[in-house]
Amino acid sequence: MSLQLKINTDLKEAMKAKQEPLLSTLRLLKADIQYELTKNGAQELNDEQVIVLIKRSYAKRTDAIQMYEKANRNDLADKEKGEAEILKSYLPPDVPEDQIIAAVEKFVIELGASGPKDIGKVMGKVMAEFKGANIDGSKVSAIVKSKLS
């Protein structure tokens, strides 16, 4: 079952069970998917495209959480945290840090990277290696910077 179909099925089940936080989050996600379909003129998105949309929504939620916490609006921050957890359940598992470190070390040697000027080259290779996987770019960036500093 494709990820898009799974989201549609879960949305229908959430409607029947009247699970409000899940329902509202999946409705927003379905709207993002529908917008992407309309924009591309496609009938269905592949799983990789849906994952990109979910990651984008997840990033919006994490940014909102930080802003609400700065403003001492814990009620809204908690709502966003709940939505972020729902979105995270549709993402593939995070790439373990030891795999990221191994890939960084491999590409540093392969590219002959020696300093901060090579950060972009190594980052590009590492991100391409884990394309389609759930990898945090800021974590990769921190690891690459620590290796090349």
**Dist. CA 85–CA 90, nearest whole Å:** 9
- Delimiting residues of CATH 1.10.1510.10 domain(s) in the chain: 3-90
For residue 107, give the 3-state DSSP assignment: helix
Tens of pLDDT along 20-79? Answer: 899 999 999 999 999 999 998 888 888 888 988 998 999 999 999 999 999 999 999 999
What is the second-level CATH architecture of the domain 97-148?
Orthogonal Bundle (1.10)
pTM (predicted TM-score): 0.77
Q: Is 37 exposed, middle or buried (0-12, 13-18, 19+ CB in 10 A)?
A: middle
Tell how many helices (H) and how many strands (E) occur in the chain: 7, 0
- Delimiting residues of CATH 1.10.10.410 domain(s) in the chain: 97-148
For residue 18, give the 3-state DSSP assignment: coil
Q: What class does CATH assign to 3-90?
A: mainly alpha
> How confident is the model at residue 53, as a pLDDT?
92
**Dist. CA 45–CA 60, nearest whole Å:** 21
